[in-house]
Amino acid sequence: MAFSDVRTFEGEVLTGSLRGFFPAGGEVIVSRAPGRLDVLGGVIDYTGGTVCEMPLREAAVLGLQKRPDRQVRVRSLNAEAEGLTPEWTFALDDLLACADYPQAQEFFRREPGIHWTGYVAGAFYVLARERGVRFPAGANLALRSEVPLGAGVSSSAALEIAAMQAICLAYGLELDGLTKARLAQMVENRVVGAPCGLMDQLTSLLGREYELLIIRCQPDVIEGSEPLPEGVQVAGINSGVKHSVGGSRYTDARVGAYMGHKIILTLLQEWGTTGQEDPFRGYLSQVPPAEFWAVYRPHLPAQMRGQEFLDRYGDILDAVTRVEPDRVYKIRSRAEHHVSENARVAEFRRCLASYARTRDQRFLRRAGRLMYASHWSYSRRLGMGAAETDLLVRLARSLGEERGVYGAKITGGGSGGAIALLGDDRLPAAVREIAQRYEAATGLTPDVFLGSSPGAEAFGHRLMRWG
């Protein structure tokens, strides 16, 4: 399969802006990792929910060439347009000398505009710390990405997976796909400091073209890769409003969900129906919906100050976030979203399977309504909506199934970013019309995501050598 983004990158290396970055005669390993479209599930990955993800056509392409010394030189063709420093060189031994992850975080923040390099070069530290890898030499790494930053389509995971894949290939590290995805997640959680779940890295690495990767995030059970039914399409539109997984709304919503889980466990222990073990195995999304609404929800406070929670319940069981004593967290609504979204995903999959067998439009219609319900829950229960994504969903709904649009929802971490849409073969034309109407209403030019491509594992790698 030909990839135009890979050809463009290779052209930059040979005759374009990367000419001379890689010295002639040395082999360059080229990896490619796509962004992902969160079709349903989104943030319930960190509470053990099941998610439906599809790899996008847009991807990050990275070239790596080992150096004769122990320097690491990182360059991005996209950074300058984002107001970031496009290139940074550092001593590999200085990074590996960091005593812990907080020090590694600070290493990539020591100068303004270089924090993005942690997504790429952070893999060196994680591999050394977690797998005991001894790197014999440094490397030159250059990247070009078509996955827009802050769009909610995993630009960060694309960088992390492209880098992890290339580094493992260059240094002869034989790791299975799940291990590489977990290590790439650690780059984002521990080195960058963003509390993401694992679905982004798994999809970027293991996703299949035009298929929904079904992940039961406990923590990373891949239930399968389900092809879209014939005549069914999904697409995305970027609102142009950037979101951040490291932002306060995402973090507060995550903490609130874990607080709800801890309160439920405390109730069960007080009632004497369970001991110290968690009947839901650490996953809030596994609470049965009927049980949640009938029994637990009435006991969950709408909100609570962090210090009051810590005094009454102790800390939460989350490795990457903590309760801030002076912050007020919403709890009941956050827990509601995770339990109800997990139920929506299960029904969504059943609807698509039924449509594939019967071609009865009622099943596709129901699947679309589940997406609209998910969007409402993101915005109202999680507090992670945005006026611009709400507008895009309203525009999608105004076209409706008469124009081939059956459902739409905000994606990934919310609070801006993109929406995902479900439709039939008329969806591409409808998406372009929605984008035009949105631009006319807001003055923002949205990115449109049409099409898919294989994950980094299926792509493999290319080798470049010249001179």
The CATH topology of domain 233-245+336-449 is Alpha-Beta Plaits (3.30.70)
**DSSP 8-state assignment for residue 188:** I
pTM of this structure: 0.92
Tell me the three state secondary structure of residue 395. helix
Cα R_g (the chain), whole angstroms: 22
> In angstroms, rounded to a whole number, what is the distance separating the alpha carbons of residues 27 and 65?
6
**DSSP 8-state assignment for residue 133:** -
> In angstroms, rounded to a whole number, what is the distance separating the alpha carbons of residues 58 and 70?
32
Say if CB 54 and CB 421 are below 8 A apart.
no
Q: What is the CB neighbour count within 10 angstroms for residue 14?
A: 13
> In angstroms, rounded to a whole number, what is the distance separating the alpha carbons of residues 179 and 161?
11
Tokens of 268: 């069960």
Which residue, chain included where needed, has tokens 């405390």?
Answer: 266
**DSSP 8-state assignment for residue 80:** G
Smallest CA-to-CA distance from 149 within 418, 392, 375 is with 418
Annotated catalytic residue within 5, 38, 45, 200: 200
Kindly give the pairing relationship between strand 303-305 and strand 221-227. unpaired
The 3-state DSSP composition of the chain as helix, strand, coil percent (nearest 5) reads 45, 20, 35
Q: Domain-by-domain residue ranges, the chain? A: 4-226+454-464, 233-245+336-449, 249-332
Residue 446: predicted pLDDT: 93
pLDDT single digits (tens) 38-75? 999 988 999 999 999 999 999 999 999 999 999 999 99
Say if CB 40 and CB 371 are below 8 A apart.
yes
Query: What are the start-end ranges of the E strands in 151-289?
Result: 211-216, 221-227, 233-238
**4-226+454-464 matches 233-245+336-449 in fold:** no
Say if CB 237 and CB 431 are below 8 A apart.
yes
Burial tier of 445 (Cβ tally within 10 Å: 0-12, 13-18, 19+): exposed
CATH top class, domain 4-226+454-464: alpha beta
Say if CB 456 and CB 165 are below 8 A apart.
yes
- Annotated active-site residue 311? The verdict is no
Residue 189: predicted pLDDT: 92
> In angstroms, rounded to a whole number, what is the distance separating the alpha carbons of residues 64 and 432?
36
Mean pLDDT, each 10-residue run in order, the chain (467 residues): 90 95 94 97 92 97 97 96 95 98 96 94 98 97 92 89 98 96 95 86 96 93 95 95 69 96 96 90 96 98 98 93 96 98 98 98 98 96 92 97 97 81 98 97 94 96 90
Say if CB 31 and CB 457 are below 8 A apart.
no
Residue 196: predicted pLDDT: 76
Residue 247: predicted pLDDT: 59
Residue 152: predicted pLDDT: 77
